[in-house]
C-alpha cells in the first residue's frame, strides 16, 4: 500500500462540525441549492466521511468529505456537500467527481452480476469568489451505453445578504459570513469607524440568533455552536489583522461566555423548580396539576418526580 494523505482545512472542519452537530441546519441549505421542499422534519443519516481513493501511482489517498448523507423524506435521496476556499482550477471538479464515484461505490450493490450505483446530489459552498468562479460545475460522463450529464450547483457566500440568510433560515452560512468582508480587512484594521460599522452588523447577527432561540426556532446548543464556530473562522481568516480579531472575534467570545453563563443560570432555575415541586409532593396537600402550576414544571415532570411515571 502506498502513502496515505489526508486532505482537510480549518474551514472544512468547521463545515463538517456544523453539519454533524447541527443537522437540522442543513435542510434549508439543501432546499436553496436543489429547489427541494423539505419541511425540516426529515431524518438525516450520515455516511462515512472518509474514503480511500486509489491513485495511478499506486498510492492510496485518504480523503475526507464535507460531507455525504441521506435525507429520508417522501423519497430517499443522497447528498454530498463540499466547502471550498481556493481558486477554481479544475482540480476541485476532478476531486469532487472522485468523491462522488467512491460514495456511489461504497453504497453500490451487485445482483446477478449487475452493479448498481447511485451518485449523490452534489453541491459546493465557495467561501471566496474569484473572476474564474463559475455559477455551477458540470459532469459529462461518456459511457458505451450513452452520455450522462448533469450540473453541480455552487453556492457563493458573497451572494447572500444577512436579510436573505435569516429569511431563508440559512443559518449554516453564518460562521462563513465574514468572508464577505475579507477584502476590506485592511480598512477595518486601520479605520475605527469602519470597524465599528462591522461590529454593528455582527451585533445584529447575535441579536437575531437570540431572538430565534427565544422563539424556539433554534435551540441553545445550535446557537452556541454557530457563535463558537464563527469565532473559529474569524480567528483563522483574520490572523494578520489584530483589530479585526479583537473587535469581531472578541464579540463572538463575549457572546459565547454570555450564552454559557445563561445556560448555567437556567440550569440553576430548573433545579430550584424541582426542589419546590419535591417539597410540595412531600407535603401531600396539593394535586399534581396544582404543583405543576405553582412550581413551573410540566405535569409529566411532576409525575416523574413523584415516581408515578417512568422515563
For residues 84 and 88, give the distance between their C-alpha atoms in angstroms, rounded to a whole number.
Answer: 9
Q: What is the pTM of this model?
A: 0.75
Count Cβ atoms within 10 A of the Cβ of residue 126 and give its class: 0-12 exposed, 13-18 middle, 19 or more buried: buried
Q: Could you tell me if 73 and 40 are in contact, meaning their C-beta atoms sit under 8 angstroms apart?
A: no
Q: Could you tell me if 160 and 130 are in contact, meaning their C-beta atoms sit under 8 angstroms apart?
A: no
For residues 235 and 249, give the distance between their C-alpha atoms in angstroms, rounded to a whole number.
Answer: 7
2 pLDDT exceeds 50? no
CB atoms within 10 A of CB 280: 20
* 124-139: average pLDDT: 89
Share of residues in the chain with pLDDT > 90 (%): 46
| pLDDT value of residue 133 | 85
Query: Phi and psi dihedrals of 68, rounded to 5?
Result: -110, 140
The strand order across the sheet containing 146-156 reads 43-46, 68-72, 76-84, 121-126, 146-156, 136-143
Q: What is the pLDDT of residues 62-114, one digit of tens each?
A: 554 457 899 998 889 999 999 988 877 778 889 899 989 988 988 889 999 99
Q: What is the pLDDT of residues 148-169, one digit of tens each?
A: 999 999 999 999 999 999 999 9
Amino acid at each position: 500500500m502506498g502513502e496515505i494523505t489526508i486532505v482537510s482545512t480549518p474551514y472544512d472542519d468547521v463545515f463538517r462540525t456544523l453539519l454533524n452537530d447541527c443537522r437540522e441546519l442543513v435542510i434549508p441549505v439543501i432546499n436553496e441549492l436543489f429547489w427541494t421542499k423539505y419541511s425540516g422534519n426529515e431524518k438525516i443519516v450520515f455516511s462515512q466521511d472518509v474514503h480511500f481513493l486509489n491513485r495511478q501511482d499506486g498510492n492510496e489517498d485518504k480523503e475526507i468529505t464535507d460531507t455525504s448523507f441521506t435525507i429520508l423524506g417522501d423519497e430517499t435521496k443522497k447528498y454530498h456537500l463540499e466547502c471550498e476556499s481556493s481558486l477554481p482550477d479544475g482540480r476541485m471538479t476532478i476531486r469532487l467527481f472522485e468523491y462522488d464515484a467512491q460514495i456511489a461505490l461504497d453504497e453500490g450493490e451487485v445482483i446477478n452480476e449487475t452493479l448498481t450505483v447511485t451518485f449523490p446530489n452534489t453541491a459546493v459552498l465557495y467561501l471566496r469568489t474569484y473572476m474564474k468562479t463559475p455559477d455551477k460545475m458540470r459532469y459529462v460522463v461518456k459511457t458505451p451505453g450513452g452520455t450522462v450529464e448533469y450540473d453541480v450547483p455552487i453556492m457563493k457566500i458573497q451572494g447572500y445578504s444577512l436579510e436573505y440568510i435569516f429569511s431563508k433560515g440559512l443559518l449554516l452560512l453564518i460562521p462563513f459570513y465574514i468572508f464577505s468582508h475579507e477584502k476590506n480587512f485592511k480598512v477595518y484594521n486601520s479605520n475605527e469607524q469602519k470597524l465599528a460599522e462591522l461590529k454593528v452588523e455582527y451585533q445584529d447577527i447575535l441579536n437575531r440568533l437570540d431572538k430565534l432561540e427565544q422563539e424556539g426556532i433554534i435551540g441553545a446548543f445550535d446557537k452556541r455552536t454557530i457563535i463558537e464556530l464563527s469565532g473559529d473562522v474569524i480567528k483563522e481568516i483574520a490572523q494578520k489583522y489584530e483589530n479585526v480579531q479583537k473587535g469581531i472575534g472578541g464579540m463572538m467570545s463575549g457572546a459565547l461566555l454570555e450564552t454559557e453563563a445563561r445556560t448555567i443560570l437556567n440550569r440553576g432555575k430548573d433545579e430550584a423548580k424541582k426542589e419546590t415541586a419535591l417539597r410540595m409532593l412531600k407535603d401531600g396537600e396539593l394535586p399534581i396539576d396544582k404543583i405543576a402550576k405553582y412550581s413551573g414544571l410540566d405535569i409529566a415532570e411532576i409525575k416523574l418526580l413523584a415516581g408515578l411515571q417512568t422515563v
